[in-house]
Structure 1
């Protein structure tokens, strides 16, 4: 499995960010991890990171956040002209079937349950990065 240079984790819960960063570090597939607390902040973070040559290749997105939720973020980021095409995965505790349907309708690369677990992330990355 190739190593991802930059990953972005978007979540308004500091504990969820901490857990996700820890799991990403334990998997060892990511060199840089950046974070944002909502979709709007994430758009700004992506633009800054891209300006520094660190376009996120993997983005883990919470659904329910203030300012801009995960679905709004996905729609907004797809309108940006980025030098990379990020792997987009919802990272959520939502078990709402409507959320799952909407995630599938947006053609996301994955839908990972919280709390993120090492084995789930490894399997997701191995399957996703193998397809490239």
Structure 2
């Protein structure tokens, strides 16, 4: 099972993203900014990082550069979450080592698609939700 670190300054957004990732079969931990996340990565390097672009203390872009400079920091897949639709921002993040990006807001199906595109293996059940599971 893959471990994902969710980084966002909003507790509500972290809770929502953690819930989606858990539905997809991943274990999760969270941090409210890039500085706290780097500390978490030092203690336990995740397989995947879902990081917000705009945060106080240390933003997602600064975190990404610092992560990639760490020993084993090139290993995690990094998905940048943003409300920015500016191609320049996205290109800059991909050039600095982000594996994928996702536009906020998103749902669990969009997240699953982006994670698979980034090379994160999801359990077969998580990849294909059963349309009859809700009793229809």
TM-score normalised by length of structure 2: 0.79
Unaligned runs of 5+ in 1: none
Does structure 1 retain, via aligned residues, the 8 Å contact 2:34–2:59? yes
Q: Could you say which residue in structure 1 is the equivalent of 2:5?
A: 8
The CA deviation string for residues 90-116 of structure 1, in whole angstroms up to 9 with x for no partner, is 012222333212112224111111223
Q: CA RMSD in A?
A: 2.0
Q: Which has the higher contact order (CA 8 A, sep 6+)?
A: 1
Q: Could you say which residue in structure 2 is the equivalent of 1:35?
A: 30
Unaligned runs of 5+ in 2: 122-136
* Shift in alpha-carbon separation, 1:79–1:101, aligned structure 2, 3 A: same
Q: Could you say which residue in structure 2 is the equivalent of 1:128?
A: 118
Which structure has the larger Rg over C-alpha atoms? 2
What SS does the corresponding residue of 1:78 show, helix, strand or coil? Answer: helix
Q: Which contiguous aligned blocks of 4+ residues in structure 1 show a shift greater than 3 angstroms?
A: none
CA distance in 2, matches of 1:105, 1:65: 20
Q: Could you say which residue in structure 2 is the equivalent of 1:25?
A: 22
Give the CA deviation at 1:125.
Answer: 2.2
What SS does the corresponding residue of 1:88 show, helix, strand or coil? Answer: strand
Give the CA deviation at 1:22.
Answer: 1.1
Equivalent residues in 2 for 1:1-132 (5 A)? 3-4=1-2, 6-28=3-25, 30=26, 32-48=27-43, 50=44, 55-82=45-72, 85-129=75-119
